[in-house]
Amino acid sequence: QCEFVDIFNPSAGTGSACINITANSDNWTITNNHFYQTSSYANLITNTYYSIIVNSGSNHAITGNYIGGTAPNCGGTPLNITNGTMDFDAIFFGASVGGDVNVSGNTISNIAFTTTMTIGAYPVVGIALQGSANYTCGSSGNGNTIGDMNSTGNITITNNSGSGSLGFIGIY
């Protein structure tokens, strides 16, 4: 179990990824970790920010992770991102991922996102599943949780651009 704290680098000129699995990578297990920010980020650039991105390989397990908030277990105040034109994907699997992949028991919650995007887009994505993998995305008693059924406003998206429509994707 690890805590990944203040993982984004808004001054880098590109997006950021806390865990980035790329070429020649099979059988990764990323389990029971906490990804959170202790301070707000403002004016982020147009690139995507990820907590976990898997771009290749096969037979991965991403389970029991917590993404969001300002403390472990998605606790504290919301992970707060404001005034950017970028997007945030909590867990992302790219088109080159194959084999059997288990994505279960993850929690993505306590996020406040304010954007100035002007095009139809999805500024916040919980879990993106691309490629030809055989995905197991949750199971009986071990599903993924995105947001919180017991509280209103657990994930909020505010569009300050004055135009365009934005959406939210939990899992796709």
pLDDT at 165 over 80: no
pLDDT at 47 over 80: no
Residue 162 φ then ψ, to 5°: 85, -5
CB 3 within 8 A of CB 33: yes
- Eight-state DSSP code of residue 143: -
Question: For the segment 144-161, what is each residue's pLDDT rounded down to a tens digit?
Answer: 999 988 888 899 888 777
| CA distance linking residue 114 with residue 82, whole number of Å | 4
pLDDT at 130 over 70: yes
Q: Which residue has the higher pLDDT, 126 or 46?
A: 126
Question: For the segment 66-123, what is each residue's pLDDT rounded down to a tens digit?
Answer: 999 999 999 999 998 876 677 889 999 999 999 999 999 999 999 998 877 766 667 8
CB 15 within 8 A of CB 50: yes
CB 53 within 8 A of CB 65: no
